[in-house]
Amino acid sequence: MDKVVACGTCGLVQEVDGEVPLGAVVKCARCNFQIFHRRVDSGSRTLAFSLAAGILYFPSNLYPIVTAEYQGQSVQTTIFQGISSLWHDGQYFIGGLVFCTSLFTPALKILGLIFITLTLNWPRFKKTRAWIYKIIRIIDPWNMLEVFLLAICVSMVEMGEVATVHPGRGVFSFAAVVVLTLCGTLTFDSRLLWDSAAERKKYE
């Protein structure tokens, strides 16, 4: 085992003295976060998370997000219908933003993570994997915009007497996709990107 470890959080390179005893964890000298040589089982966990997210991506977009009942009429809206109605209303900026954050970036992120984790052991595509990971890190904050979508839903529910809003199947799948993709990037250890197959064996 290597003595020198870098903290994944603050980047401080430090030395680990002696063997780590059973039941103990290694904490960073500067930021006190747990440090690993490599995250445990990182590749396969990330693959599991992103596969689950990829499966749920379909119901989240095909099923209605909300069912609004207004004076005896019920209106069901999927994400895509919401985007197209924004677009037709002339709200091109908001429509485009919602399209990017709700449809485009989650798909990109899920596909990217699946590609990276599946091809980790390949000697080829090393550069490509690094590029994809960079893109994922760039689009990651934008995925958080779904929180605002949920806020809009809540404000609709608050109308109470006038209209009743039921969450559809889509919104649960959607929430699951958001959480799963988040977990997917969190569990992924970026150091795996440059590890060769032999190096990975060493850290297992």
Partner 1 sequence: MSDQSHSLPRAKIQKDALSLFFWALPVAAAIMCGWFLLHDFVLAGPSITIYFKDAQGLQVQNSMVKYRGVEIGTVESLELAHHGQDVAVRASLHRSAADVARQGSIFWIVRPELKVGAISGLQTIVSGSYVAVQPGAGGPTNVFNGSTEEPPPPIPGISITLLSDDLGAIEPQSDILYRGLKVGSVLNYRLDDNARYIVVNARIMQEYAPLVRVDSEFWNAGGINAHLGLFSGLNITAESAQTLVAGGLAFATPEKYGAPATNGAVFFINNKEDKTWDDWNPIIPLNTQPESKKTKNEWPQLNAQ
Question: Which residue, 44 or 128, has its beta carbon nearer to partner 1?
Answer: 44
Secondary structure of 86-121 as H, E, C letters: HHHCCCHHHHHHHHHHHHHHHHHHHHHHHHHHHCCC
34 phi/psi in degrees, rounded to 5: -70, 135
167 binds partner 1 (CB under 8 A): no
Among 98, 132, 180, 192, binds partner 1 (CB under 8 A): 180
CB of 187 to partner 1, least distance (A): 8
77 phi/psi in degrees, rounded to 5: -130, 125
Question: Which residue, 51 or 153, has its beta carbon nearer to partner 1?
Answer: 51
H helix or E strand, kind and range, residue 5: strand 4-6
Burial of 178 by CB count in 10 Å (0-12 exposed, 13-18 middle, 19+ buried)?
Answer: buried
The beta strand positions in 27-77, using DSSP E, are 66-70, 73-77
97 binds partner 1 (CB under 8 A): no
CB of 146 to partner 1, least distance (A): 18
* Binding positions for partner 1, 134-153, rule CB under 8 A: none
Q: Are strands 4-6 and 66-70 parallel, antiparallel or unpaired?
A: unpaired
51 binds partner 1 (CB under 8 A): yes
45 binds partner 1 (CB under 8 A): yes
164 binds partner 1 (CB under 8 A): no
Q: What is the 8-class DSSP label of residue 193?
A: G
115 binds partner 1 (CB under 8 A): no
* Binding positions for partner 1, 60-79, rule CB under 8 A: 63, 71-76
Nearest residue to 37 (alpha-carbon basis) of 198, 191, 180, 159: 191
CB of 59 to partner 1, least distance (A): 5
CB of 58 to partner 1, least distance (A): 7
Q: Which residues bind partner 1 (CB under 8 A)?
A: 41, 44-45, 48-49, 51-53, 55-56, 58-59, 63, 71-76, 169, 173, 176, 180
